[in-house]
Structure 1
Amino acid sequence: MERRYEIGLLLLRITFGLIFFVHGLAKFQGGIEKTAGFFSSLGLPGFAAYPVAVIELAGGLAIIVGLGTRIVSALLALIMLGAIFTAKLSAGFIGGYELDLILLAVAVHLLLSGSRFLAVDSLFTRR
């Protein structure tokens, strides 16, 4: 793989992971019970807030270091689909789901391509 492409994926992976890490952290710092209440107000089971917050927090960190990038990206893509269709779609594109849509696209890109440059995963695979 070309070095410029690898560096681009690294930057994408770190930024993407940081965004989700901070979102997961905010769910815990702001009171996970509030997030559970928000989920319930959308008609979702409130307890779903817990695995979502853990996936965002731990998954964001895993993505940053490049551990399980494809698996975590798949989980985050599912979370983004859920967010778009349960919370954001009714607000429209601008001010609604546009940011979730780009995060979904990044998740799918990392799911399909992976990211090995400066990644823990590269320690476990052969080139």
Structure 2
Amino acid sequence: MSELISKIEAGLNHPDAAKLVLRVSFSLMFLLHGIHKIFAGTGFIQGLFIDLGLPAFLAYAAYLGEVVAPIMIILGLFTRFAATAMIGTSLVVIGLVHRDDFFSLNQFGAWEVEDIGTYLFASITILLLGSGKYAVRPD
């Protein structure tokens, strides 16, 4: 039985394919937020910055973190640099939108910041793993 399990595990051992799946899946989902901002604008985010006494133009950085960086990660182009931009974007989202509920659970017992937290931890993982060999610029 252990020999069968070993053969199955060996057949499923594809770390570069796993890096590709992680890069593409999470970056596509993050990119959807950026596409929304392309069509809807950054007015909401600008308001959040203004409420904190910060300049509204900082909201335009969302295009770098939610459009440019995910495309770079999908392509595997300067993956670690782009992952750093997505980490920064995730932290800004937490600070702007979730600072009051960071230590809270929702009605189902899940972390209130679970959605952006997932993107944050996936970006950290991509930063640490790199692009793998299936990339425009493998590392």
TM-score range, shorter chain: 0.7 to 0.9
5+ residue gaps, structure 1: none
Q: Which among 102, 123, 127 is matched to residue 118 of structure 2? A: 102
Whether 2:132 is the aligned partner of 1:116: answer yes
Matched length: 122
- Percent pairwise identity: 30
Question: TM-score by structure 1 length?
Answer: 0.82
- Which structure carries more helix by proportion? 1
Question: TM-score by structure 2 length?
Answer: 0.76
State the alpha-carbon separation in 1 of the partners of residues 88 and 119 from structure 2: 11
Which residue of the partner structure matches residue 48 of structure 1? 58
Which residue of the partner structure matches residue 23 of structure 1? 33
Q: Any idea what the Cα deviations from partners look like across 1:31-55, whole Å, max 9, x if unmatched?
A: 2334322332344421111012233
State the SS of the aligned residue for 1:121. coil
The one-letter code of the counterpart of 1:120 is V
Moved over 6 A (4+): none
Q: CA 1:78 to 1:120, structure 2 compared with 1: closer, same or farther past 3 Å?
A: same
Which residue of the partner structure matches residue 75 of structure 1? 85
Q: Give the structure with higher Rg (CA).
A: 2
Q: Is the 8 A contact 2:65 2:88 kept in 1?
A: no
RMSD of aligned C-alpha atoms? Answer: 2.1
5+ residue gaps, structure 2: 1-11
